Amino acid sequence: MKTFSLSNRFAIAILAGSLAVANAFAQGDFEGSGEVPDPNCVGDGCGYVSADQAAPNEDEDNANYSYSDNGATTEEEPWPTSTEEPQADTTANTTASATATDTDSEEEDEAPEVATTNIDEEDDVTPHYIEENAADYRARKEGFSKGMQFGVRAQVGINKNLGSKASDWNIGPELGAGIMAKLPLARSFAVSTELNFSFRHYGYEGKSEYKQIDTDSDEKTYSKNDATINEMLFEIPVIAQFVFDEDGFFIGVGANLGLKMSGDSENEQTINFAGTRMKETRSNTIPTVGVEVGALLDVGCAINRWLVLDLRVIQNFTNLLDLDLIAESSLMHSKLYTMHVGFGATFLL
């Protein structure tokens, strides 16, 4: 009987401990339980709910709750208002925003296009103009042909023959006139060409003395030649011009092609022999070549929009005389390379 009594006591103790543990779980005293008494229930039969379920309803504006560790309810600070907006309102706002965007897009499509002043945008096709002269504007807007300049040129000048047996040739006058065209390729570079009609005059004075044989006369024996050459020809210069400053000063280099249209010559020979003087005049015995080629140097200045003055030097590389057809013995071995120097005025149209 004694053993039975001890067993009963031990069983009763175990049962009492189990009830105590169950009660602790039920009241939330066990650490980490996360359950609190139901705040919406009044009386002895109330149960326990989780902390999330015990949060106050948003509709209860004046309900302020705070929870202690033992499940007691105290009135303290208000429950923090949720930062999330209702789903319905968000959807409505999104729909309204999309509708407003579509409306704005339709209004922008219907509105007339307005030129923008932002020149950095690649798709901006609005013209933006800066300060420029009329020639640059025409060249950019209407093509290179509209950027060309045309004019009329007149020239006066002189010529001098250089080379073998050239010392007896005098300085001769020249006149010329024609039309020009100039194509600007850059702000400081241009190419020009001309078609000029030129008149040239060359003068020759030569004298040869001979020793008299078997004569007592003191008078010298000599032969004197006075010759002139006249030419009319077309000249076609091609010039590359470089502009150095805004005042219009420029320098040009290029080539000149001369095409003879017509020419004539006259040689008057005077012979003094043994006291007898004879004169003879011969025509077209000093022919010139039909084509002349030379290098050109042109220096000038644009006085204004309509007037350009220049000084031009042309040095020919071809012999002036046609040695295959020449009939004057005194000039048969001459090699004449003519230099032309002219002062010109160009009137731009």
Query: Alpha carbon of 181 to those of 9, 186, 195, 239, 254: distances in Å?
Result: 134, 16, 9, 11, 15
Query: Alpha carbon of 251 to those of 219, 309, 313: distances in Å?
Result: 56, 12, 12
pLDDT at 248: 81
Spans in the chain with pLDDT lower than 50: 1-4, 28-33, 58-77, 82, 88, 90-92, 96, 98, 114-119, 121-123, 129, 144
Where are the strands (E) in the chain, listed by range?
A: 35-37, 48-50, 66-67, 73-74, 149-164, 169-170, 172-186, 189-210, 221-243, 249-273, 276-283, 291-302, 307-316, 335-348
Where residue 238 falls (left for φ over 0; alpha for ψ -120 to 50; beta otherwise) is beta
Structure tokens belonging to residue 115: 């030129």
Residues forming CATH 2.40.160 domain(s) in the chain: 134-348
- The residue written with tokens 């309509």 in the block is 306
Residue type, 48: Y
240-295 pLDDT, tens digit per residue, is 999 887 668 999 999 999 999 999 999 998 887 767 788 889 999 999 999 999 99
CA terminus-to-terminus distance, the chain: 147
pLDDT at 97: 53
Residue type, 228: T
28, 67 contact by CB (below 8 A) = no
pLDDT at 272: 79
SS3 of residue 192 by DSSP: strand
pLDDT at 349: 87
pLDDT at 228: 95
CATH of 134-348, one of 3.40.1000, 3.30.310, 3.40.30, 2.40.160: 2.40.160
Structure tokens belonging to residue 272: 């003094």
Going by C-alpha positions, the residue among 204, 97, 130, 190 that lies closest to residue 160 is 204
Q: For the range 34-37, what are the long-range contacts, defined as Cβ-Cβ under 8 Å and sequence gap of 24 or more?
A: 36/67, 36/71, 37/71, 37/73
106-142 pLDDT, tens digit per residue, is 555 555 554 444 445 444 555 554 555 665 655 555 5
Query: Alpha carbon of 50 to those of 22, 35, 69, 70, 259: distances in Å?
Result: 17, 4, 13, 14, 116
